[in-house]
Amino acid sequence: MTVTSSSHWGAFRVSGTGQGLRVSARPGDPDPSPLLGNIASAHRHRSRVARPALRRGGAGRGYDSFEEVSWETALDVVAEAIDGVSSRNGIFGGSYGWGSAGRFHHAQSQLHRFLAMGGGYTGSRNSYSLGASLVTFPHLVGPRGAQQLIRAGTDWPVIAQNTDLIVAFGGIRTANTYVTPGGRAAHDFRGHIRAAFARGLQLVSVSPLRDDLSPELGGQWLPIRPGTDVAVMLALIHLLIREGLADLEFLADRTVGSQRLIADVRDKTPQWAGRESGVPAAFIEELARRMASSRTLVTVSWSLQRAPHGEQPLWAGLALAAALGQIGLPGGGFGHGYGSMGDVGGGSLPYAFPAFPQPRNPVPDFIPCALISDLLLHPGEQFDYAGKRYRFPDIELVYWAGGNPFHHHQDLNRLRSAFAKPRTVVVHEPYWTATARHADVVLPVTTTLEREDLGVGRGDTHLIAMRAADTPYGEARDEYDIFTALAHRLGYREAFTEGRTTQQWLRYFYEQWQTSLAEAVSRPALAEAVPGSGLAEAVPGFALAEAVPGFALAEAVPGFDEFWAQGELELPGRRADTVLFADFRAGRALDTPSGRIEIFSETVAGFGYDDCPGFPTYFPPEPAPIVLVCNQPATRLHSQQDMGDVSQASKIRGREPLRMNPGDARERGIADGDIVRVHNAVGSLLAGVTVSDNCSPGVAQLSTGAWFDPSRPDLADCVHGNPNVLTTDAGTSRLSQGSTGQLARVEISRYDGSVPPLTAYDPPLLETP
């Protein structure tokens, strides 16, 4: 039997079970993700958690063995630990991470509903991917404008038809476009970008890595020293103003702070920027002239804001686009995240899908997610965030489901110390990850292939019926069943479940969506959900079928049983013609204090942060022998399925591959295929080397996501190659407190000793009572 399913890297089909399980691409996907090749090999891997387990021994979390116990025993232990917490803000409801695709089995929603109904928890805000963006952009373009910018942007078909020049700070990386939260049924990025190049699009990738623009796409690589993009942006603005190429009328009418910007860039010459960035001054001058004479889209990747002062490239990039005056024009203006995620520019739907209902959390305490170590290490201390000062609560119990902080977080040695502090750590995991090894209670959960759900991503083309392809591994249970059993022990089972089984919730979600379609068909205000569509002026009674060509009326959507049997449903009303900020250009005010783009933010300036003033500012990066770029892997999503075939094929002698420039390698006596020790004051690791001129001089690249393996601390803090043993655990600034895990300053030396075996995928010592 063949069933449909979905992942964050795309929908697919499954046949067979167990070790004979086979995965194939969804018919109709023009460019399926290579990551589908990891799924079958990871399905029944030896690293799966088979039974509930309790930590035993006295060496400490991350070192001890575990005892396998019955579900009844494990659930009793967890319920007792929750019930014994002295204050509800003493529970940290972790669950930061991607987990599995699916609207219902979304681990974070399951956990947070369970904890909120039980009295509350300390939560987290924002993300490791967009920590600076989610806080900064609402000050610059307003909360509504920030949502449009971050979650949508101008659609790729509009870019393909109208854009002459893309200047991409941080590049546009094809590998990242396969991934979308919730999945994507049809990957069409490469088709659109090829059409754009065929029409004559020119693309300049400003990045320390050549292949941040895929070679097949052509374009021009502009190598730059990591952390100096703001210098180049300010110099481009300088040249535009000096040569009369800036749109001063747009700056005056549509922005706040343009006069300050003009004064500030007076000494930011291309020669100055060239000294800072390594980009030749003549090229900066020529690029500014090309940008002014073309329909130009300025884009900034997510990667640039994952570094110290990560707010600044966002701010300066937006200021550069404003100086060109093309914001709101088809194919021009500003974008954020092209090549960072598959749904940016990937179309939109004029409705949302239901999710597991979330009650209000009675506990007001929270942290920006990248402050998890500070939270656990420094209870009672204060921290700054977004203009206010907060205090870390005293966490007694950490409950983590659906994520792996020993992948996401920086300075893993510090995180290990932090995880030693709480009285209890509970982790839900399908696999024996480093996070599971640092728990007191590990509860085995099913994977996507072992349960039923609904799959859909933002702007998706189809709703996917995610049917179970196999039975659960060992004694693994769905998160919903685990929390139902715990809620029963704690006295609120009926409130948590609302009397529904998993299949009943899926039917409820689908029928809710059907109802919302019926209500939306004749509602003119739906135009608000389609940014830039021009529907905001729709007259009363305006039918959605007229406003959105091809929109099938709600009555045409099949019932749940028919949908479930056919496996997928093409979604009605999808649009792919959005022009970001078209309504702003047409006269609609932004929801900023001024109604305009705030190049100078009086609000942010009023916070008094010296590490994030109220206007775009260049902070020179610290010098280093080698700057290590710790970007997203092309062979997996984060650390998910690192044991899969595609991920394993990229390893060098079992280690994560590190790329370095030929000159840097030659200077250190390092050759292709060597094992190296990468180290700094934070930590050390072993990796396998690929010598490549895709790295600029002084730059190396090591992807995140290799499973943390601290089994030989006498040799290195991680013998597998997890770069987060090298990254610094510090926020972008006091404004955002975003992650700074993109860059690390390191030295690299050849390792000539015996290469130790890996233990990252081996379960810990398991005792059976």
Q: Which residues are catalytic?
A: 96, 98
The residues facing 54 across adjacent strands are 67, 441
- The beta strand positions in 356-509, using DSSP E, are 366-368, 382-385, 388-391, 397-401, 424-429, 441-444, 453-455, 462-466
Dist. CA 429–CA 53, nearest whole Å: 11
Phi/psi for 405 (5° steps) reads: -60, -20
Q: Residue 121: which of 367, 356, 489 has the closest Cα?
A: 367
User: By the 8 A CB rule, do 305 and 311 touch?
Assistant: yes
Dist. CA 445–CA 447, nearest whole Å: 7
User: By the 8 A CB rule, do 197 and 218 touch?
Assistant: yes
User: By the 8 A CB rule, do 208 and 250 touch?
Assistant: no
User: By the 8 A CB rule, do 683 and 715 touch?
Assistant: no
- Alpha helices in 370-422, H assignment, sequence order: 372-377, 405-408, 412-419
Q: Which residues of 80-89 are buried (b: 16+ CB within 10 A; e: fewer)?
A: ebbeebeebb
User: By the 8 A CB rule, do 132 and 314 touch?
Assistant: yes
- Assign residue 317 a region: left if phi > 0, alpha if psi is -120 to 50, beta otherwise? alpha
Q: Tokens for 279, please give them.
A: 């980009």
CA 548 from centre of chain: 30
List CB contacts of 296: < 8 A, sequence separation 6 or more: 163, 164, 165, 166, 167, 290, 324, 326, 332
H helix and E strand count, the chain? 25, 30
Dist. CA 415–CA 411, nearest whole Å: 6
- Letter for the amino acid at 304? L
Phi/psi for 274 (5° steps) reads: -60, -40
Dist. CA 614–CA 138, nearest whole Å: 13
Dist. CA 586–CA 329, nearest whole Å: 10
Return the number of other C-beta atoms located less than 10 Å from residue 198's C-beta. 9
